[in-house]
Amino acid sequence: MTTAPRPFKLLATDLDGTLLDANGAIHACDREAIVELRRRGVGVTIVTGRMYSGTREVAQSLCLDGPIGCLDGSAIVAVRDDRHLVSRSLAEEAGRALQEALAGGSAAVFVLGHDEIFHDARGVPFAPYLRGWTPRISHVDDVTLASRWDAQAGVAGAIAVGTKDEIDALIRDLARTAGLVAPVVFPVRRDAVAGHWAMMVRDAGATKGTALEWIAAHHGVEMDEVVAVGDWQNDIPMFRVAGRSFAMAHASDEVKAAASEHLRADVTTGGGIAEAAERSGLL
């Protein structure tokens, strides 16, 4: 006798490129789907690369009050009272090695606090593209100075933007931090800064997957009762732990390969959350 699969009880969604369109607005059909999911008693959470200050307004507009994952799992925050439940910082050794590598390079650098971003003059051309992550962006004299990192105890990670050669050199410099940090390299596709590459580095123990596992446990939900929806490389760890995972139509082949299913909806049409909920039997 076969055992019937468990019904899904929790849906986790990425923000940019999934729930939000290119202008940062929630697709109307997805908003309606989330309202109906919550009416039916299905848990809904957000797991995003954004900081909490760049996510709070979206979560509140959906009347979410439970924990959400931010900074790719480096922070988990209860929306109801803005309380940080989990805050993961770079280990001292990893932070020191990252600071030294970034100080020796010529790429633009952004230091990620738990809810604030710091940059110096080299980061000015790129800063507008990070304002969706958080409105708390500060311009300092030299973001790579060791004293700056010491003063900002609890650095959650960093972003570097430069040429492909500059980013490749940083990756080589970070080889000694293997197992301590998790660098992700990707081309920047914004029109004004196209041709640049970026490296994002965070604590190796924090991913969207670890955040989703924590949130599911908080709700008393097993991982095979979780549906995850996303579109980018940082969603892959979330796909790997969820019972069912959906990649948006515009996602890369690598992301689609990690998902259990592919959606017809993309960032332009919207409807990815609604489609995933319907195909999972939640709606």
The pLDDT of residue 3 is above 60: no
Report the sign of the C-alpha dihedral through residues 251, 255, 256, 261, in that order.
Answer: negative
Q: Which two tokens stand for residue 103?
A: 């100080």
184 vs 275: which has the higher pLDDT: 275
**Do 228 and 243 touch, CB atoms closer than 8 A?**
no
Neighbours of 186 (CB within 10 A): 14
Calculate mean pLDDT across residues 213-218.
98
Burial class of residue 91 (count of CB atoms within 10 Å of its CB; 0-12, 13-18, 19+): middle
Instruction: List CB contacts of 165: < 8 A, sequence separation 6 or more.
Output: none
Query: What local confidence, expressed as pLDDT, does residue 1 receive?
Result: 43
What would the pLDDT profile of 149-163 be if each residue is shown by its tens digit?
A: 764 457 889 999 999
User: For the residues of 96-161, what is the DSSP string, one character each?
Assistant: HHHHHHHHTS-SEEEEE-SS-EEE-GGGTTTGGGGTTT-S-EEE-S-TT-HHHHHHS-S--EEEEE
Q: Which two tokens stand for residue 55?
A: 């996510």
- Integer Cα distance of 179 and 181 in angstroms: 6
Confidence bin at 194 (pLDDT 50/70/90): low
Instruction: List CB contacts of 188: < 8 A, sequence separation 6 or more.
Output: 161, 194, 195, 196, 197, 198
Greatest mean pLDDT among 6-10, 46-50, 87-91, 203-207 lies in 46-50
Average pLDDT over the chain reads: 91
What would the pLDDT profile of 222-244 be if each residue is shown by its tens digit?
A: 999 999 999 999 999 999 999 99
Domain 92-203: which topology?
3.30.1240
**Do 181 and 112 touch, CB atoms closer than 8 A?**
no
Query: What local confidence, expressed as pLDDT, does residue 203 receive?
Result: 86
Kindly report, as residue ranges, where domains of CATH 3.40.50.1000 are found in the chain.
10-87+206-279
Pairing mode, strands 261-262 and 244-247: parallel
* From 12-16, 76-80, 195-199, the region with the lowest mean pLDDT: 195-199
Calculate mean pLDDT across residues 260-283.
97
Distance between first and last Cα of the chain: 28
What would the pLDDT profile of 36-95 be if each residue is shown by its tens digit?
A: 999 999 999 999 999 999 999 999 999 999 999 999 999 999 999 999 999 988 888 888
- Integer Cα distance of 19 and 25 in angstroms: 8
Query: What local confidence, expressed as pLDDT, does residue 153 receive?
Result: 57
Kindly report, as residue ranges, where domains of CATH 3.30.1240.10 are found in the chain.
92-203
Looking at residue 18, the DSSP 8-state letter turns out to be: T
Query: What local confidence, expressed as pLDDT, does residue 47 receive?
Result: 98
Q: Which of 2, 57, 5, 14 is nearest to 211 (CA)?
A: 14
Q: CATH code for 10-87+206-279? A: 3.40.50.1000
- Integer Cα distance of 101 and 119 in angstroms: 16
pTM above 0.85, yes or no: yes
Distance of CA 91 to the CA centre of its chain: 20
Calculate mean pLDDT across residues 211-220.
98
Query: What local confidence, expressed as pLDDT, does residue 191 receive?
Result: 56
The pLDDT of residue 173 is above 60: yes
What would the pLDDT profile of 19-42 be if each residue is shown by its tens digit?
A: 999 899 999 999 999 999 999 999
154 vs 218: which has the higher pLDDT: 218
